[in-house]
Chain A
């Protein structure tokens, strides 16, 4: 029931996001002929085009921002609405409330990351092209991991900052600072933007626009661990808050 509550609170944002990401993927596939002619340096291959416009470009950036907005909400906002008392009166611990919201949000982020993998390989034959399923699934996995960190940032911000829209603004600023710091030489292996697109990584071949090497499991593990820590911190803070 808690998961259903969390779903109802975020369903509109999720459905809008899903329709947009899926819709953009459909558009980019169906109009690939025309779109490919607009690139500097001549039209890329179909695989290169999909990488540049979906996995590196527009759709990836939109995914990051939409996942950030999926992460906000929670009990602090319910306090502003006056419904926190009802929610806290439910016979469940605050940990379960936090966990339910986190699980639903992460599931939504994972589904959003899977949409390009579902749409692009299926629709490509309709335009006499093909995109490998394995590539799409690997990019989905990388997006899910990157999305988990972004979601966790927004989730933690929503627990700390109660002001209206303060949480998403702060989360966005934190994401920006993270992006700047992750560009530094020793930390660039933890740059989720590059990880999600493969840019400049050992497992991605730029000339073919394909993931060819093993995924960065160590970096993935570290990012998931950091995300977990953020969720735990959010839970601890929620437990200690006075509503």
Chain B
């Protein structure tokens, strides 16, 4: 029942986000000729006019990645502080469930929704590419989904933690946006550059792409599991902090 409650509270945001991602993927695939004919500048390292590169440029390394990253922030906004503002916190806390269970349900639903969002390109792109006489490897799409989900967990965890700490309705997403931007700036600092802390690079497979057989732009070698594990552990730590803070809050 707690999971159902969390789903009802977040389903509108989730459905809008999923719809947007799906529509964008459809747009990129179905209008790929028109988009490429516009003659947009080709990023360095890419050849231009190759379907896999078009998909990579717009979906996995481009706009769709940005949509996913920004809208995951809104999926991560949870906690009980906003229920206090609405006057429903006492009802929720009166339920025969610990605060940890309440938050676990919110986190579980949020992460599940994020996993589904990360799978939207996998479900659509390889499936509809044949309609435009193209193909995109399912394995590539799935690997990118893993990267998106992995990196998305830390965005989700940060948004969740901030929504537990900060009470104003829109202050938490503002703070999360700011931290998301700041991390890209901090990652550019020379001493930190070798560690490639910019999460968007990891999500987009930057520095991990190469030209494979049949002139296809693909991810090189295995996924960065050590990095993804580090991100996952950091996310777990942030969520644990959020749970501890929520357990001690006075409603």
The answer to whether A and B belong to the same complex is yes
B67 contacts chain A at the CB level, 8 A cutoff: yes
A→B interface (CB under 8 Å): 12-13, 16-17, 20, 24, 27, 34-35, 38, 40, 58, 61-62, 65-66, 69, 72-73, 77, 80-82, 163-166, 168-170, 172-173, 176, 180, 183
Is there an interface contact between B44 and A164, defined as CB atoms closer than 8 Å?
A: no
* A82: B residues at CB distance < 8 A: 86-87
Q: Which of B1-58 contact A (CB under 8 A)?
A: 9, 12-13, 16-17, 20, 24, 27, 38, 44
Tell me whether A166 and B12 are in contact (CB under 8 A): yes
Q: Given A62-B181, A163-B12, A180-B27, check contact A16 B67 (CB 8 Å).
A: no
From B71, which residue of chain A is reached at the shortest CB distance?
A: A169
CB contact between A168 and one of B63, B67, B170, B189 (< 8 Å): that residue: B170
Question: How distant is the Cα of A77 from the Cα of B169 in the complex, in angstroms?
Answer: 9
Q: Which B residues touch A66, using CB under 8 A?
A: 174, 177-178
Contacts A166-B16, A180-B27: A73 and B181 contacting too (C-beta < 8 A)?
A: no
Bound form: Cα–Cα A35–B184 in Å: 13
Secondary structure call for the B interface: helix
A12 to B173, CA, bound (A): 12
Find residues 101-139 in chain B having any chain A CB closer than 8 Å to their own CB.
none
Contact A13 B168 (CB under 8 A): yes
Q: How far is A176 from B23 in the complex, measured between Cα atoms in Å? A: 11
Interface string of B62-92 (1 = CB under 8 A from A): 0100010011001001000010011100000
Question: Given the interface contacts A35-B188, A69-B177, does A176 sit within 8 Å of B13 by beta carbon?
Answer: no
B154–chain A nearest beta-carbon distance, Å: 19
Asked if residues A58 and B184 are in contact (CB atoms below 8 Å), the reply is yes
Report yes or no: B173 in contact with A168, Cβ–Cβ below 8 A. yes
A65 touching B177, Cβ below 8 Å? yes
**B79 nearest CB across to chain A (Å):** 12
| Known pairs A58-B181, A81-B86, A168-B74; A13 contacts B188 (CB<8 A) | no
